[in-house]
Amino acid sequence: MLSMTPKEITERKALRINPAKTCQPIGAMYAALGIHSCLPHSHGSQGCYAYHRSHLTRHFREPVMASTSSFTEGASVFGGAPNLRQALKNIFQIYDPDVVAVHTTCLSETIGDDLPSIIKKAKDDGIIPDGKWVIHTNTPSYVGSHVTGFSNMVRGIVDYFSQSMGETKDRINVIPGYVEPSDMREIKRMTEEMGVKSLVFPDTSDVLDTPQTAQYAMYPKGGVTIETLCSTGDSKATLALGPFASEQAAKAMETKCNVPFQVLDLPIGVSATDRFVQAIMDVTGKEVPESMEYERGRLMDIMTDMQHHLLNKEVAVFGDPDHLISLCEFLINMGMRPKYVITGTPGKRFDLRIKGILKDWAPNAIVKSDADIFYLHQLIKNDPVDLIIGNTYGKYVAHAEDIPIVRFGFPILDRVGHSYFPTVGYRGGMYLLTNIANTILERKDRDDPDEFFELIM
C-alpha cells in the first residue's frame, strides 16, 4: 500500500500524487443531473466521459446516463463541431431529453471549440428541436477541480434559464452546493418546515437515490424542471450555500435578474446551520418552528453526551473546500482539534478562512489548498493524529498508519448510506456526529486492555 511514503517533505510544484480532488467535468456532469429530463454531454473523447460516468456511478451506486462527442484523431486536428452536431442529432432522435447540458474537456478546450456558435448553428439548422434546450459551460480539466466544474455548470444553468417577469414572488432560491441528494432533500425539508417556498437547484434527489421499482427510467422523476428554473429570476432572494460551489451562480442571477443574494457556508454542524436558518428568517420573516428547535436540541444533547470522548482529539481532514470550512467549525464546537486541513481545490481564500476559524483553538494547524493526499500522509507520518476524516482515498493512509477514518465527502466508493443520509442541517449533524463518535469508540474498544474494556462508555 503506502508503507513506502517518505517522512521527508519536499516542495513539489509540477506534480500531484493522489490528489484530493478530481476534474471539472465530473462536477459539471453532477450538476446537470440535477435538471429534470437532462442528458449531460461530454464534448471530448470517449475515455473522458466513461471515467466521469463510472466515478459518479460508483459513488452513488446508480446508473449515470450521459453522452459524448466521441473525439477521434480527426476531431483533435480539425475541431469537434461535426461530432457535436451529429451527437445532438442522435441524442434527440433516440433519447429525447428536454435538455442537453454540454461541458468541455481538456481536448476540446485545447482545440478551442466555440460552443455557443456551434449550438446556435445546430439550432438554426433544425438539429435541436423546438422546445428543447442545449446549454453549455467550459470545464477544462487542467484548471480547478470538480467543485469548479459544478460551479461553472450551475452558473451556465442561470445564464440559459433564469428569467425575470418583473414580479417578485414570495419565495427564495437555494443553490445547495456540491452535496449529496440526501442533503438537497434535507434542505428542501427544512425550508418547508419553516413554511418557506424554496426553489432548490440543481436538485439530484430522486435522480441519484431512486428506489428499486423493477422498472428502468432513463430520466427519473427528480430534478428541477425547466419551468422552475425559468422562474428563479422572480424570487425575492438567493441563498448560495458554499462560496466555492455556489457563489458564481448567485452573482450571475443578481446580474441577470436583479435577485439579491447571500453566500453562506454549507449548513454542516450547529453554527453553520444556525446561520442558514437565520438567513431564511431574515429574508422571509418566518419564525423557527418548535420541531426544528427540538432537532437542534437533540444535536446539542449528543454533543454534550459525547464531549468527554471527543475533547482534544486531533483530526486530519481533507476534501472539498466548502465541506471543510463548515466541518472544521463543527469539530471545534465538539472540542476536537483539526491538525491538518487539506484540499485539492486551489484558492488562497480557503487557507485564510480555515486559519481564521482555527486561530483560537488550533493555531498551529497546517492548512493547505491545491495539495494532495501524499502530502497529508507525510504530515501524519511525522506527527500522527487520532482520526482522519475524508473520502475513500484516505483509507490507504489510515491503513498504513493504523488510524481510524470517517468517510466524508466525494467520492465514497467502498461504503453505502452517504447518498441517503444527510450531513447538512441539524439532522445531518446528528448523523455525522454519531459516525465520528462511534468510530472513536470502536477504536477505543479495539485498543483497551481488559481492565478498561467498558460495557457502558
Task: Report if residue 408 sits inside a domain.
Answer: yes
Q: For residue 27, report the phi and psi dihedrals to the nearest 5 degrees.
A: -65, -40
* 214, 70: one domain: no
* 362, 249: one domain: no
Domain boundary among 105, 133, 161: 161
* 283, 320: one domain: no
Q: Which residues contact 40 (CB under 8 A, 6 or more apart)?
A: 28, 29, 32, 33, 65, 66, 67, 101, 103
At 1 the pLDDT is 60
CA distance 109 to 25: 12
Listed residue (105, 144, 139) closest to 370, CA to CA? 144
Q: Are 22 and 411 in contact (CB under 8 A)?
A: yes
Q: For residue 41, report the phi and psi dihedrals to the nearest 5 degrees.
A: -130, 125
Task: Report if residue 75 sits inside a domain.
Answer: yes
* 325, 381: one domain: yes
pLDDT in tens, 349-400: 999 999 999 999 999 999 999 999 999 999 999 999 999 999 999 999 999 9
How many other CB atoms sit within 10 Å of the CB of residue 434?
12
In the chain, which residues have pLDDT < 50?
none
- How many Å is the maximal CA-CA distance in the chain? 80
Q: Are 323 and 408 in contact (CB under 8 A)?
A: yes
At 420 the pLDDT is 95
Task: Report if residue 149 sits inside a domain.
Answer: yes
* 336, 425: one domain: yes
* 327, 426: one domain: yes
At 2 the pLDDT is 75
CA distance 36 to 202: 9
pTM given for the model: 0.96
CA angle 263, 195, 288 (to 5 degrees): 70
Domain boundary among 131, 161, 191: 161
Q: Are 351 and 371 in contact (CB under 8 A)?
A: no
Task: Report if residue 9 sits inside a domain.
Answer: no
How many other CB atoms sit within 10 Å of the CB of residue 168?
14
Task: Report if residue 89 sits inside a domain.
Answer: yes
* 306, 444: one domain: yes
Q: Which helix (H) or strand (E) holds 99?
A: strand 99-104
* 206, 115: one domain: no
* 263, 362: one domain: no
Task: Report if residue 15 sits inside a domain.
Answer: no
Q: Provide the domain limits for residue 284.
A: 172-290
Listed residue (378, 385, 271, 285) closest to 332, CA to CA? 271
Domain boundary among 241, 262, 290: 290
CA distance 128 to 330: 48
Which residue matches cell numbers 455557443? 116
* 43, 115: one domain: yes
CA distance 141 to 146: 8
Listed residue (173, 325, 182, 307) closest to 250, CA to CA? 173
Task: Report if residue 344 sits inside a domain.
Answer: yes
* 177, 197: one domain: yes
Q: Are 341 and 366 in contact (CB under 8 A)?
A: yes
What domain count does the chain have?
3
CA distance 154 to 137: 9
Q: Are 391 and 180 in contact (CB under 8 A)?
A: no
Report the CATH number that the domain containing residue 66 is assigned in CATH. 3.40.50.1980
Q: In this structure, what C-alpha cell is assigned to residue 217?
A: 427510467
* 302, 446: one domain: yes
Task: Report if residue 90 sits inside a domain.
Answer: yes
pLDDT in tens, 280-306: 999 999 999 999 999 999 999 999 999
